[in-house]
Amino acid sequence: MTDLTEGNMFDPNEGQNSGLRRPIWIMLAALGIVMISGFIAGFSVHYQNEGGRAFNGIAAAIFAAAILGIIGLGYRTWQNAKAGKVSGENLTPRERRRRYILSGCIFLGWIMGIGLPIMFEGRGSAEAVTIFSNSPLPTNIALAFVFVLLVIVPAITWYWHRYAVDEMEESAYRDGGYYAAYAFLFLTPLWWLLWRGGLLPEPNGVAIYLTFSLVWTTVWFWKKYL
């Protein structure tokens, strides 16, 4: 009788852990979709630039596996989003706006990541039209990115902090900024000195930017969800 009672006891942390896993999984799956999509675009353009021939068996298998990966991640994301609604998770208006903005930014990043190589397919090397490259960009594309960074991103950022985040998330952002600032202050001169000593390649601005962003995002994620 005792075993039956204990076996049916409700674990108060079970629902909390499940609710915690859902946003983590959704964010990781969205990142995976963006990365796989970028791989598909780059792989396709590179393969076509090599001769413009149809995919052979190995290339077709790689392409199909990447497509199936996107479908699988998308399905799991949809399942987790649906489970959140069924379980009765109550979202505040700020949390709802936050999720809408995150979804929009992920979609925008997905479009930018896969759109450029496809748009300029066949116009020379695909490297010249990717985002994270040091190769020259067409002037109109460069100006479009400048407009996004100087107008759209600040507007989204202002709205995000004004209407979408709460005190806990603001604190997580501040902590992430502290860690990222120290990483920048320590790692940037370290890389520069090691390059001058012949131990590392020349410092790369994009790599420094991505490292800064990764540290900030990781600490924010840790403080908010873990």
Region 71-91: mean pLDDT is: 69
pLDDT in tens, 177-214: 999 999 999 999 999 999 999 999 999 888 898 899 88
pLDDT in tens, 120-142: 555 555 454 556 666 677 788 77
* Annotated domain spans of the chain: 166-226
Q: What Cα–Cα distance (Å) separates residue 84 from each residue in 24, 81, 103, 157?
A: 12, 5, 16, 26
Instruction: Report how far residue 75's alpha carbon sits from residue 29's, in angstroms, rounded to the nearest whole number.
Output: 10
**pLDDT value of residue 126:** 45
pTM: 0.62
**pLDDT value of residue 135:** 65
**pLDDT value of residue 178:** 94
| CA geometry: angle 178, 214, 113, nearest 5 deg | 140
**pLDDT value of residue 145:** 81
pLDDT band at 150 (very low <50, low <70, confident <90, very high): very high
pLDDT in tens, 21-37: 666 677 777 777 777 77
pLDDT band at 15 (very low <50, low <70, confident <90, very high): very low
**pLDDT value of residue 196:** 95
pLDDT band at 16 (very low <50, low <70, confident <90, very high): very low
- pLDDT above 60 for 13: no
- pLDDT above 80 for 5: no
Contacts of 35 (CB under 8 A, 6+ apart): none
- pLDDT above 70 for 47: no
pLDDT in tens, 211-224: 998 899 889 888 88
Instruction: Report how far residue 81's alpha carbon sits from residue 77's, in angstroms, rounded to the nearest whole number.
Output: 6
Q: Does residue 186 or residue 46 have the better pLDDT?
A: 186
**pLDDT value of residue 113:** 64
Instruction: Report how far residue 197's alpha carbon sits from residue 199's, in angstroms, rounded to the nearest whole number.
Output: 6
